[in-house]
Chain A
Amino acid sequence: MKAVAALLTGLAVLAAPSRAAAPAAPPAADPHAAHHAAPAPAPLPGGSLYQLGARLEASDGTRLELAALRGRPVVVTMFYSTCTSVCPMLTLAMQRALAALDPGEQAAVRFVMVSLDAERDDPARLAEFAQSHHLGAPFLVAHAGAADVRAIAAALGIRYRQLPDGSFSHASVLTLLDRDGVPLARTQVLAAADEAFIAKLRATLR
């Protein structure tokens, strides 16, 4: 028996490196589960973007999990700071949606802009962008790593391609997420307020 046990131990040790190759946290896990023992949050709905496990770095340098946005409805878009053609309109569309809300509603929502330019849009550049466009609270202008940018864009159905000159060709989409990160509505209307989208946003805040 002892010999068998020793053999099993040996095999377990030999097999260990292949197990260690597994990622530390499965994407479906709550990233904060380890930090707070007291009441576990309800499991995320199957369609929630907060299952991506993506990490953001805000323009003020704060690092946060995408899932930390849970709790308030979110309007999210993807852009890049050096974009001169459509992104100004995209930013304006975000500001227009915010302006359509009354102050109480404004305090209950987040407006999130995630850069597609993982390489160059560092917090300093995003801070400059936020300042020049007067994007205070409830805006969050954020950078993410290249793999997380791909995942967030994929989950939002935002197609994009980096061009040889470093600019991006990308779809301009505003997406409304509910309090759990599930997409409820999206719009590609930039030139004027999308009334249906704003109505849905207000209904979600009620």
Chain B
Amino acid sequence: MRAARPLAALGALLALLGSPAAPATGAERVTLPAGEFTPVVAPGPEQKTVAIGAFALDATPVTNADYRAFVVRHPEWQRGRVAALFADSQYLAHWRRPADPGPAAADAQPVTRVSWFAARAYCQAAGGRLPRWYEWEYAAAADETRRDARADPAYRERILAWYAENSARALPPVGKTPRNVYGVMDLHAVIWEWVEDFGGLMVSGDSRNQGDPDKLQFCGAGALSAEIRDDYPILMRMALLSSLEASFTTANLGFRCAYEVTP
């Protein structure tokens, strides 16, 4: 964290210098160290853990203001211009105009109603990529003091309470939840988030099932060997992501970007 301060100051300076042409946008990035991680759903019958390489992650989800700057620079991603292959008809439907979120989508709220293709294009333009699921889950296992707080019932209860509370109200602005030990915010309480490999999450870990359409399409969490069977928030998130197509958009589905770091 000590190194982050001069960088932030430099960032602020650059933002000031560049402001007339390019408004300052984009979240703060934090670096997560490499680690061994036990995901809720094991990667395979004989393997319980995955090795996560060091990577950087946006501390908060991408906001309407960030996304507005992106569609101004890349008009092919504006509502009305985006190809049907890349986004469904509800893409950015809540924005006032194609390049103007308007009052229904505040600058500091996370951008939602964006497709996987759109999220990916945004991250690519930002020099990054979407996080992979294991990276996302690794980041989300932490609380304010521990890298893996999942065994603590109090931690789980708090996350479940967040889900219950937030489903009914308007999206909160980003950056209002506590920073976890890595400095990442809003992983649980705010929105669903796209990941690069969303389509493979609930695919059976038994390759003999491949190609059997019935097994493949309908094997749910019950058919997978879940390591932490009562981690409902994670299983719920995996189920939701698995049900999406890459052009889908929903009112609670946004994203943040990940970045490679040089070791």
Q: Tell me the A residues contacting B by CB distance below 8 Å.
A: 11-12, 14-15, 18-19, 21-23, 26-29, 44, 46-49, 51-52, 83, 85-86, 89-90, 147, 150-151, 153-155, 157-165, 167-172, 188, 190
Knowing A28-B83, A169-B203, A170-B203, the reply to whether A21 touches B17 (Cβ < 8 A) is no
| Residue contact A46 to B85, C-beta cutoff 8 Å | yes
Interface presence of B20 (CB below 8 A): yes
- A12-B21 contact, Cβ under 8 Å, with A51-B86, A161-B201, A163-B43: yes
Complex: A155 Cα to B212 Cα, angstroms: 20
- Please list 7 pairs of residues, one from A and one from B, whose beta carbons are closer than 8 Å in the complex, sorted by A's number: A21-B125, A22-B74, A157-B245, A162-B200, A169-B203, A169-B207, A171-B213
From B103-111, B116-124, B146-154, B178-186, the one touching the partner chain is B116-124
Residues of chain A with a CB closer than 8 A to B74's CB? 22, 26
B208 contacts partner chain A, Cβ-Cβ < 8 Å: yes
Within 8 Å CB of B18, what residues of A? Answer: 11, 14-15, 18
A18 to B22, CA, bound (A): 8
Tell whether A164 pairs with B84 under 8 Å between CB atoms, given A23-B125, A188-B213: no
Which residues of chain B have C-beta atoms less than 8 A from A49's C-beta? 85
A23 to B76 CA separation, bound complex (whole angstroms): 12
Q: Point out the residue from B44, B125, B129 that lies within 8 Å of A165, measured CB to CB.
A: B44
**Bound Cα distance from A167 to B208, whole angstroms:** 10
Residues from chain B with a CB closer than 8 A to the CB of A169 are: 200, 203-207, 209-210, 216
CB distance from B180 to the nearest CB of A (A): 27
Does B97 count as interface, using CB distance less than 8 angstroms?
no
Q: Is B196 an interface residue when CB atoms closer than 8 A count as contact?
A: yes
Give min CB distance, B16 to chain A, whole Å: 10
Tell me the complex Cα distance, A159–B242, Å. Answer: 9
Candidates A162, A164, A172; contact of B46 at CB < 8 Å: A164
Per the bound structure, the CA–CA distance linking A158 and B45 in Å amounts to: 23
**Judging by beta carbons under 8 Å apart, are A21 and B126 in contact?**
yes
Considering only CB atoms, which chain A residue lies closest to B121 in the complex?
Answer: A27
CA distance A164 to B207 in the complex (A): 11
Closest to B133 in A: A161
* Chain A proximity of B51: nearest CB distance (Å): 11
CA gap between A124 and B126 in the complex, in Å: 35
| B44 engages A163 (CB within 8 Å) | yes
The 3 closest A-B pairs by CB, nearest first: A86-B211, A161-B200, A15-B21
Q: Which residue of A lies closest to B244 (CB)?
A: A154
Report the minimal beta-carbon distance from A23 to chain B, rounded to whole angstroms: 6
> Which residues of A have CB within 8 Å of B216?
159, 169, 171
- With a cutoff of 8 Å between Cβ atoms, the chain B residues found around residue A52 in the complex are 85
Query: Within the complex, what minimum Cβ distance (angstroms) separates A115 from chain B?
Result: 15
Contact B47 A171 (CB under 8 A): no
Please give, as numbers and ranges, the residues of chain B lying within 8 Å of A190 by CB-CB distance. Answer: 211
Chain B residues with CB under 8 Å of A48's CB are: 83, 85
Known: A160-B199, A163-B44. A46 touches B207 (CB 8 A): no
Tell me whether B197 is interfacial, beta carbon within 8 Å.
yes
Among A18, A21, A46, the most chain B Cβ lie within 10 Å of the Cβ of A18
